[in-house]
Structure 1
Amino acid sequence: MHHELRRNERALTEMEARAILERGEYGILSTCGSDGQPYGIPLSYCIENDAIYFHCAVEGHKLNNIAADTRVSFCVVGKTEVLPDQFATRYESVVISGRATEVYNEEKQRALEGLLAKYSREFLSSGLDYIKAKWALTKVFKVSIEDQCGKARR
């Protein structure tokens, strides 16, 4: 579902928003449980083929929520600077809406390698061994980007 920005002059182009996503260290995944209770959790992610990928354990709160409703929101905050004398903040952020689905086999491997390349590039060889060792204990999800909205005050 797309929401119009209240402050349109702060809207980012698709390319600017993508750059924030690519250099982001972490994002906040927001889900909703079967009881309607919202839940947001920070996590590591990578971008592959215009989708967000994240890994997790084989059970847990976010997995229960995704099983109840695959619709999710994912937010990445880029550079920020508090401007105390102006009672304001410089910021840049991107919010994505989409659906989370578990991926398997080759797609799971590519996503895990994408995470490895993003966070541990200098340990590629031992990282591949780690992926192999933890394969059965790891789930990987893809968030297909249905809507993307970037905003900044610079």
Structure 2
Amino acid sequence: MSAPALRRTDIAMTQEQIEATLARGFAGRLATVGADGYPYCVPMLYIWADHQLFLHGTSARGHLRANVEHEARACFELDEPGEVFDYGRFECDSGLAYCSVILFGRISVADDVAIRQRFCERLMEKYGKPDSIRPKNFFPRLDAITVYAMHVERMTGKQRLLPELSEQWPAKDRTRTPDARP
């Protein structure tokens, strides 16, 4: 897979940081391309397991399923916003602490009932209520969902940590246009 190099190497995440973000993340956005050439981006819950991304939707054929059947290449984005901070004298001299991960790969329908079962088990481990008294690992509507598996070919991650107060304005002035006057 050819790709431009990560431009902001100064804020690049390590492989371990990327994996930790994927493990704890809540939801992300899956982007696919349709037969008409238009991108389609949809927010989705997900499971990160065995170096693959697993997602699900209805078994009814819709926009996502049509795109996946048309073109296997896909992209998944996950972000975690942090605090806004000031680095200079002007309102526009503001930054945001954050981390973001982008996965590139090929997505397909996981038809195997054992994969769908395991996906649902992991989904409930991640998103379910741990003190629930409902029966565990019983999913009578497995045939009503489609599970997608994304085989990741490349992943990138960036993060900007919240600077210490001693590195924020007014303690330190990093105004990008120091000669500007309001």
TM-score (norm 1): 0.91
Q: Note if contact 1:116-1:124 (Cα within 8 Å) is conserved in structure 2.
A: no
Matches within 5 A, 1:3-18: 3-18=4-19
Is the partner of 2:35 in helix, strand or coil? coil
Q: CA deviation at 1:106?
A: 1.2
CA distance in 2, matches of 1:75, 1:111: 20
CA distance in 2, matches of 1:126, 1:99: 34
Aligned residue identity for 1:39: Y
CA distance in 2, matches of 1:127, 1:70: 33
Q: Note if contact 2:81-2:96 (Cα within 8 Å) is conserved in structure 1.
A: no
Higher CA-based Rg: 2
Gaps of 5+ in 1: none
CA RMSD of aligned residues (A): 1.6
Q: CA deviation at 1:46?
A: 0.6
Partner residue in 2 for 1:146? 153
Q: Deviations over 1:50-82 (max 9, x none)?
A: 101011101211111111101100011024222
Identical columns (%):
29
Q: Which moved more, 1:2-11 or 1:30-39?
A: 2-11
Q: Note if contact 1:54-1:140 (Cα within 8 Å) is conserved in structure 2.
A: yes
Q: Which moved more, 1:38-47 or 1:112-121?
A: 112-121
CA distance in 1, matches of 2:15, 2:51: 12
Q: Deviations over 1:9-56 (max 9, x none)?
A: 111000001111111100100011011101111000011111010111
Partner residue in 2 for 1:126? 135
Which of 67, 72, 76 is matched with 1:70 structurally? Answer: 72
Q: Note if contact 1:28-1:41 (Cα within 8 Å) is conserved in structure 2.
A: yes
CA distance in 1, matches of 2:82, 2:18: 15
More helix by share: 1
Q: Which moved more, 1:12-21 or 1:73-82?
A: 73-82
Partner residue in 2 for 1:115? 123
Count of aligned pairs between the two proteins: 152
TM-score (norm 2): 0.78
Using CA pairs under 8 Å that are at least 6 residues apart, name the structure with larger relative contact order, 1 or 2: 1
Task: Go from structure 1 to structure 2 and tell me whether the alpha carbon gap of 1:81 and 1:50 turns closer, same or farther (over 3 Å shift).
Answer: same
Gaps of 5+ in 2: 162-182
Is the partner of 1:128 in helix, strand or coil? coil
Is the partner of 1:30 in helix, strand or coil? strand
Task: Go from structure 1 to structure 2 and tell me whether the alpha carbon gap of 1:126 and 1:35 turns closer, same or farther (over 3 Å shift).
Answer: same
Aligned residue identity for 1:111: F
CA distance in 1, matches of 2:156, 2:4: 9
Task: Go from structure 1 to structure 2 and tell me whether the alpha carbon gap of 1:121 and 1:56 turns closer, same or farther (over 3 Å shift).
Answer: same
